[in-house]
Amino acid sequence: MSAPESELDFVQPWFLGPAAENDRMLEELVVEFLRDHAYWRRNFHPEDGLRISVGARHAQGFLDTQARMRQELYRMSAALKRAVPFFHPRYVGHMTGDLLIPGLVAKLITTLYNPNNVSEEAAPVTLEWELQVGEQLARMFGYAVDDDAEPCAWGHLTSGGTVANYEALWNLRSVKFYGIALQSGAARVGIDPGPVGPAAKPLSAYTPWELLNLSVDDTIALRRDVARALRADHPPERFAEFAAAVRAERIESLGTAGFFMKHGVEPPRVLVSTSAHYSWAKGMKVLGLGTANLVHVAVDDRMRMAVPHLREELDRAEDEGVSVLAVVGMLGTTEFGTVDPIHEIADERDARRARGFDFGLHVDAAWGGYLTSVFRRPDGSFRERDEVAEGFRYFPSDTVHRAFEAVSRADSITVDPHKMGYVPYPAGAFVARNREVVDFITQEAAYVFDLGDEEQERPRREKLHNLGQYILEGSKPGASAAAVYVTHRVLPLDSDGLGRLLGLTVRACEAFYDSVEAAQERLEGRVRLCVPFQPDSNLLCLALNPWNNTSAAAMNRFSRAVFARMRVDGERPVQIKTFIGSYTSLLKKTLPGDQTHRILTGLRLDPDTLRLLPADPGREADHLFILRHTLMNPWLLAGPDDRSYIDHYWDWLVEVIDEVLAEGGWRGGTGAPAAP
């Protein structure tokens, strides 16, 4: 399958290009806006004259310094020739590709102005753009962003998906335990507002379990009810006393351990699939929630969260009276690009919410989030599956289509512009369905408790210009905001904009998937190929096992030797690499038994050779080492000699396979050696 010419034409102007074909355009833009910046400086108090005189440039010291700068920059530039050629279709490794020119120029030029998006004072222009980026992303995901919508979404940029994931936990935690603090604070100062909250009863009448199982929206409503009741019945001093008592009871004041002990609450659980990104484990450590409370839900034969197992884990928590802070669905796993059934997770949430067991729903769409643009029409409506499917062979499966549609039911979403948004690092994003959550985060006195008029109960958008108050990070690059903002302006997040570009990457993945069969025929009698999980998006993993080999360890040694040819090692020039890929491992420890069986059978491996060996010195027998291909380059379906890069990749891979087979070092001493 090749790409239609029109689609390849479409991508021509967007990137510097694999051979820097668009270097003139980039140069022109950079020079033009660099000069523009210089004039801007020159016109800020031109009456002051020059501080660096024209003559100074001829002084010996000046020339020496200039020479030193140049010298070091030459060294830098030379060293960077060992950087990774992410921009090229021969690079199919990690989740990064060429940079879109609008974002690249925006970033380079804005850096000259160096705005700091921690607050409006340091970023009068780019901070507003960052909030608009949040709204663009929220709209793509199907959240409401009109100022008077309730709930109204908001979003902002982070350094990446990792920090956005931490922020999700941080936000949900601050809301989850608020009800208990509110009740304790009220009791402490002897106030009992009522009737309040979803059950319309006195605050003191709520059980701790009820307070732990309020939705985000209900907690916000409860807080507003209480504020309203108190404002009506008590003088401002009394109100301030109450607000201080609530603050003192919060998890943010007491610390996690202090809060759980004082209020007799079990630490909450967070549920993710076994294929979740490792930032979730890091986040549990950072927030003091503990990795022991991170529950790994099994995956199915498509490497998607297995909902029956999710139900079991939710039942267990419910039975044990332990609250669940969040269930995290992956919209594009890092290792496989597979998509969890977000719609089924949301249904599960709704069903349990109705019987008083609630949890936050976060979607980790760091990788796949931008693919939502393929589904979103420019008018904001969501495209039917049949319509989307016209451009593809398999995409989108019913599950994938429904999962993307259901993302708007989540409380929050992580998405990485520096992955499928093709903008420079660092650019991740956190998007929340209800911006009123920021009131639970702020370092200042809570907004809703400010003794203002009723209209101020909801945070106004201007308030968000004190961005540093509501986010994990402090100083942060306004240049990143400019990069993402300008990119979204010229390539909107819908099926006519970015969606067209991303559609090409999914097509490339389908073409690669379809080509596996022919490759298997070529490799008949030499190596068995297996795609362990059918791709949901634009990532494809491939297991390779020498034909008669039955040992997992030997297969891993073989595959590592193949991978060594496509690895960037930092020591040697990248130019000697024909293709560059990445790898991942299927761990015996985390792969469900039925999936292990299916994959081992496909590869004709002896199940007894894959085991959990405490004393396995090379640790070669407790996992399967597989090749991983991220297909985000738009030119994969084109290539030299009228053959696609995918065809070229197979030619090369077959050669490498034959070389490694011939070397034979992979056979090693253990396992069943293959007959040649």
Ligand X SMILES: *Cc1c(COP(=O)(O)O)cnc(C)c1O
Per CB under 6 A, residues contacting ligand X are 95, 160-162, 165, 277, 279, 330, 334, 364, 366-367, 416, 428
Strand blocks (E) in 513-615: 527-530, 539-546, 582-587
Q: CB-wise, 95 or 175, nearer to ligand X?
A: 95
Q: What is d(CA 306, CA 300) in angstroms, rounded to the nearest whole number? A: 5
Quote the least distance from Cβ 276 to ligand X, whole Å: 7
Structure tokens at 465: 């210009």
Q: What is d(CA 595, CA 277) in angstroms, rounded to the nearest whole number? A: 20
Quote the least distance from Cβ 197 to ligand X, whole Å: 34
Strands 294-297 and 269-273: parallel
Quote the least distance from Cβ 368 to ligand X, whole Å: 8
In the block, residue with structure tokens 């409503």: 221
Quote the least distance from Cβ 299 to ligand X, whole Å: 14
Residue 441 host element (H or E): helix 438-441
Residue 624 host element (H or E): strand 623-630
CB-based burial, 155-194: b 16+ in 10 Å, e otherwise: bbbbbbbbbbbbbbbbbbbbbbbbbbbbbbbbeebebebb
Amino acid letter, residue 221 = A
Contact indicator for 277, 334 with CB cutoff of 8 Å = yes
In the block, residue with structure tokens 């022109």: 28
Quote the least distance from Cβ 472 to ligand X, whole Å: 12
Q: CB-wise, 537 or 559, nearer to ligand X?
A: 537
Give 295's strand partners: 271
Quote the least distance from Cβ 542 to ligand X, whole Å: 19
Quote the least distance from Cβ 406 to ligand X, whole Å: 17
Beta-carbon contacts of residue 605 (< 8 Å; ≥ 6 apart): 545, 549, 550, 551, 552, 555
Q: What is d(CA 140, CA 371) in angstroms, rounded to the nearest whole number? A: 10
Structure tokens at 510: 């389908």
Q: CB-wise, 213 or 279, nearer to ligand X?
A: 279
Q: What is d(CA 513, CA 307) in angstroms, rounded to the nearest whole number? A: 26
Quote the least distance from Cβ 94 to ligand X, whole Å: 9
Q: CB-wise, 192 or 473, nearer to ligand X?
A: 473
Quote the least distance from Cβ 589 to ligand X, whole Å: 20
Cα torsion at 116, 117, 119, 124 (round to 10°)? 80
Q: CB-wise, 162 or 408, nearer to ligand X?
A: 162
Quote the least distance from Cβ 400 to ligand X, whole Å: 15
- CB-CB neighbours of 327 under 10 Å: 28
Q: CB-wise, 226 or 403, nearer to ligand X?
A: 403
Quote the least distance from Cβ 165 to ligand X, whole Å: 6
Q: CB-wise, 141 or 206, nearer to ligand X?
A: 141
Q: CB-wise, 213 or 334, nearer to ligand X?
A: 334
Q: CB-wise, 426 or 668, nearer to ligand X?
A: 426
Closest CA to 1 of 477, 518, 670, 537: 518
Q: CB-wise, 110 or 279, nearer to ligand X?
A: 279
Three-state DSSP state, 385? helix
Give 326's strand partners: 270, 360
Q: What is d(CA 538, CA 332) in angstroms, rounded to the nearest whole number? A: 9
Three-state DSSP state, 541? strand
Q: CB-wise, 165 or 480, nearer to ligand X?
A: 165
Q: CB-wise, 97 or 546, nearer to ligand X?
A: 97
Three-state DSSP state, 235? coil
Quote the least distance from Cβ 503 to ligand X, whole Å: 20
Q: CB-wise, 276 or 568, nearer to ligand X?
A: 276
Q: CB-wise, 160 or 468, nearer to ligand X?
A: 160
Q: CB-wise, 366 or 580, nearer to ligand X?
A: 366
Quote the least distance from Cβ 530 to ligand X, whole Å: 23
Beta-carbon contacts of residue 408 (< 8 Å; ≥ 6 apart): 141, 142, 143, 433
Torsion angles phi and psi, residue 15, rounded to 5: -120, 160
* Whole-number CA gyration radius for the chain: 28
Quote the least distance from Cβ 541 to ligand X, whole Å: 14
Residue 161 host element (H or E): helix 161-176
Quote the least distance from Cβ 161 to ligand X, whole Å: 2
Quote the least distance from Cβ 338 to ligand X, whole Å: 10
Q: Strand order of the sheet with strand 623-630?
A: 527-530, 539-546, 623-630, 582-587
DSSP 255-266: HHHHHHHHHT-P
Cα torsion at 206, 211, 212, 215 (round to 10°)? 140
Q: CB-wise, 283 or 497, nearer to ligand X?
A: 283
Q: Return contacts of 309-313, CB within 8 angstroms, 24+ apart.
A: 310/271, 310/345, 310/348, 311/348, 313/269, 313/271
